[in-house]
């Protein structure tokens, strides 16, 4: 009889431990889709970024005309977001924002109170391919946050960022040389808004509670 109870307890113990491992594995699978830093969170999956937003707007640049051929412009303001280039070389006629034949990167100024920004990023010149890009955020209190990434010509990379304080502005540089001008950054599907705690944080809390129940159950069976 005692042997039977002991075997049952062992099976229950292994079952509980297996369930706990499964939960922790699920948590681990979620982690690569975002990365936490001291100042904020980086998202590489648009669905996870969108899930972290309490409210947001997206700019697609679709249907926006270009100025006369050969003439760029700056600034361009859409939905309260201002895009700038020091040489006024911004174009939108291709359905995305393109900085063409310029020595300067693209600057973005957001409305007040916005603490999350995401977009599809690309480069636009074969002489700078692959490109080594830099995103530099200036936050409300003057702190700066820099993220470096590598991309391919005409291949879009999504990146999203959420901070604990509002964003003043950001600069997107594709790493092209100043002379001759080879900054031909491309931006599309620009999403900005107010972020709430990231979804995996809430999921981790849920998994933590479930794991606690599993551990408690295992302890009671001993």
Q: pLDDT tens string for the chain (222 positions)?
A: 444 434 455 444 435 555 544 444 454 445 555 677 657 899 999 999 999 999 999 999 999 888 887 789 999 999 999 999 999 999 999 999 999 889 999 999 999 999 999 999 999 888 888 999 999 999 999 999 999 999 988 899 999 999 999 999 999 999 988 888 889 999 999 999 999 855 444 444 444 545 455 545 554 555
Q: What is the number of other CB atoms lying within 10 angstroms of the CB of residue 104?
A: 20
> Which residue's entry shows tokens 């990434």?
149
Q: What is the number of other CB atoms lying within 10 angstroms of the CB of residue 4?
A: 8
The whole model's pTM is what?
A: 0.74
Contact 101, 129 (CB under 8 A): no
> Measuring CA to CA, how many Å separate 85 from each of 27, 88, 212?
42, 5, 53
DSSP state of 113: T
129-135: which pairs have CB atoms within 8 A and are 24 or more residues apart? Answer: 129/153, 131/174, 131/175, 131/176, 132/174, 132/175, 133/172, 133/173, 133/174, 133/175, 133/185, 134/171, 134/172, 134/173, 134/175, 135/159, 135/161, 135/170, 135/171, 135/172, 135/173
């Amino acid at each position: 009889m005692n042997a039977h109870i002991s075997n049952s307890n062992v099976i229950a113990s292994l079952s509980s431990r297996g369930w706990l491992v499964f939960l922790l594995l699920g948590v681990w699978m979620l982690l690569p889709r975002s990365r936490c830093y001291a100042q904020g969170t980086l998202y590489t999956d648009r669905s996870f970024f969108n899930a972290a937003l309490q409210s947001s707007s997206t700019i697609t640049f679709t249907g926006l005309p270009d100025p006369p051929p050969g003439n760029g412009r700056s600034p361009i303001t859409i939905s309260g977001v201002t895009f700038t280039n020091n040489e006024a070389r911004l174009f939108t006629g291709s359905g995305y924002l393109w900085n063409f034949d310029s020595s300067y990167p693209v600057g973005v100024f957001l409305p007040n109170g916005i603490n999350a920004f995401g977009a599809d990023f690309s480069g636009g010149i074969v002489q700078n391919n692959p490109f080594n890009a830099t995103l530099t955020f200036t936050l409300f209190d003057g702190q700066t946050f820099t993220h470096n990434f590598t991309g391919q010509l005409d291949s879009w990379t999504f990146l999203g960022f959420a901070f604990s304080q509002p964003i003043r502005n950001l600069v997107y540089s594709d790493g092209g040389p100043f002379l001759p001008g080879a900054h031909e950054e491309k931006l599309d599907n620009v999403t900005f808004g107010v972020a709430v705690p990231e979804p995996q944080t809430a999921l981790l809390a849920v998994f933590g509670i479930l794991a606690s129940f599993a551990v408690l159950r295992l302890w009671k069976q001993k």
